[in-house]
Amino acid sequence: MSHAPEDDILDRPLPIDDESAEHVRLRVRRKLPGRRLDKYLHGRFPHLSRTTIQRLIRQGAVTVNGRSTKASYEMCGGDLIDVVVPPPETLEIVPENIPIDILYEDEHVLAINKAAGIICHPARSEQTGTLVHALAYHASRLSTGGHPFRPGIVHRLDKNTTGVMLVAKTDEAHWRLALQFERRTVQKVYLALVEGRVHLDGDMIDAPIGVHPTVREKFAVLIRENKIDVAKEAITFYEVLERFRGYTLVKLLPKTGRTHQLRVHMSWIRHPIVGDKMYGGKPVSELSLTGQGSPEAIIEHQALHAWQITFRHPISEQRMLIEAPFPEPLRRLVALLRAARREPGERAP
């Protein structure tokens, strides 16, 4: 699919209805050396993308001291900025009859066992068929949340990570749960099958994570001094549950919740998660494990499962533990390893 050059997009005027648009006047109190107009406005209007702001500037919907200017203009103390802010887009989630596995439900909270292959909410590449669309069909109500395209979504799992996930049905439940995640009082336990023999029975991985320096879709441990400012603290505890020849079943307990954290951390200690092609993991088949049977991959994606979550009910404050059973492919994979590759002295947990 071809994409229009960025300059063409910037040259297209945004439709602005004077009756529905908001007129905002800002005064710059002091000189901001090196601060561009478009960056400044993006900080003041975070719901508008920087591209949208640049388009507004180009079409004259932004003026400085009564005159049109460029996005690169560096502001001075006393500058008066007038902005015509277009109304937010009308966003609608159309319910879709997509099966979901409900583990727990009351009038405030819903807990589901998320399947592989489904993203949590609409993104640029996927506008339908998401978990939000499924929830809109099955749930009697959902919180409005902080974004109209993410009703009920308090936290997320990667597209191909399975397991327990909490959903808020009311706004009060949403902000109370979000506060627990922010304060790191929610305890999450994941199970993962990783490559290689993990020698330590348990350890802590403390390695900051940021966007990969060359691959935009990936994340990486960034520990060089010139990268530490763009990385965020990331801490994962792990415990070995069972060892097999060439593989280890581990329990992962994240203290922080960075995107792809568990996948990046296990790859960084040279034990990538089985099937996680993005971070070095390889798919396995019955043939590769036992020398016979099907050559087809048992799991096409990362063998990572959100097993348990412990939290306080946002309304009753009762302590709750919700557990999601293993998906069948992961269960079959572990059973094959126990039958064909168990190490001497190892017992199933």
Which residues have a catalytic role annotated? 158
DSSP for residue 46? T
List strand residue ranges (DSSP E) for the chain, in order.
22-27, 62-64, 67-68, 80-85, 101-105, 109-114, 162-168, 187-195, 202-206, 209-211, 219-221, 235-244, 247-254, 304-312, 319-323
C-alpha torsion sign, points 38, 43, 48, 49: positive
Residues β-bridged to residue 165? 112
281 in Cβ contact with 205 (< 8 Å):
no
Residues 6+ apart with CB under 8 A from 109: 166, 167, 168, 169, 173, 177, 313, 314
Residues β-bridged to residue 254? 236
Residues 6+ apart with CB under 8 A from 89: none
232 in Cβ contact with 208 (< 8 Å):
yes
DSSP annotation string for 202-246: EEEEE--EEE-SS-TT-EEE--STTTGGG-B--EEEEEEEEEETT
209 in Cβ contact with 220 (< 8 Å):
yes
Query: How many Å apart are CA 32 and CA 74, to the nearest integer?
Result: 7
List strand residue ranges (DSSP E) for 122-230, in order.
162-168, 187-195, 202-206, 209-211, 219-221
Structure tokens at 52: 């949208």
Please identify which residue in the block is written with the tokens 């505890």.
237
- Secondary structure (3-state) at 83: strand
Going by DSSP bridges, is the β-strand pair 304-312/162-168 parallel, antiparallel, or unpaired?
parallel
